Amino acid sequence: MRDACRFLLLAALAAVACGKAVTGPGAVIVDDVVITATVPGPCRNGLACDPIGGDYTTLGLITVRNNGTAAAYLQACGSTVALSEQQLVDGQWQFVGPAILCAQGPVSIALAAGDSIQSNWWFAPGTRRLTLGAASAADLTGEALDASASFVVH
């Protein structure tokens, strides 16, 4: 058991170091929705690929995939999923970045079984993860916070 845990930890660390998608220890999976971060990652379709400035100089590719057999519903703001970023500070996860207010209140985007959504994201140095509200109902009843595995940005 100890060797298996050690292998998983080393595999996750190697994936981060090589710019591979990271899932595994520390990830929170809700309704079979898995968030992975490839950091550094490629620019997808030429969108959002210019650095946003300041310390945010590492581009990542974020994938949200529904590994389940039924549709999952993701918290949305307008026509995009409402991803949030957290940084590990003194052993606690804290939200970072600008607060985004959605005028229309809680809405959801359906993600069919086996489908995925990708987007680019800029990161500053630190231990990070991405979060997203997910539920099995379109009205987000029973929504819980889904989270990617943590990763270190240098």
Three-state DSSP state, 39: coil
Q: What pLDDT is recorded for position 95?
A: 94
154 residues of the chain, pLDDT tens digit each: 333 333 333 333 333 333 444 555 679 999 999 999 999 999 987 666 787 778 889 999 999 999 999 999 999 988 889 999 999 999 999 999 777 777 777 799 999 999 999 999 999 999 999 999 999 999 999 999 999 999 999 9
Alpha-carbon radius of gyration of the chain? 15
Three-state DSSP state, 144: strand
Q: What pLDDT is recorded for position 23?
A: 52
Domains with residue ranges and CATH for the chain: 2-153 (2.60.40)
DSSP letter, residue 24: S
> Which two structure tokens, joined as six digits, stand for 139?
């009205």
Rounded distance, CA 40 to CA 55, Å?
14
Cα 130–Cα 135–Cα 140 angle in degrees, nearest 5: 110
Tell the residue number behind the tokens 């991803």, with chain if given: 83
Three-state DSSP state, 25: coil
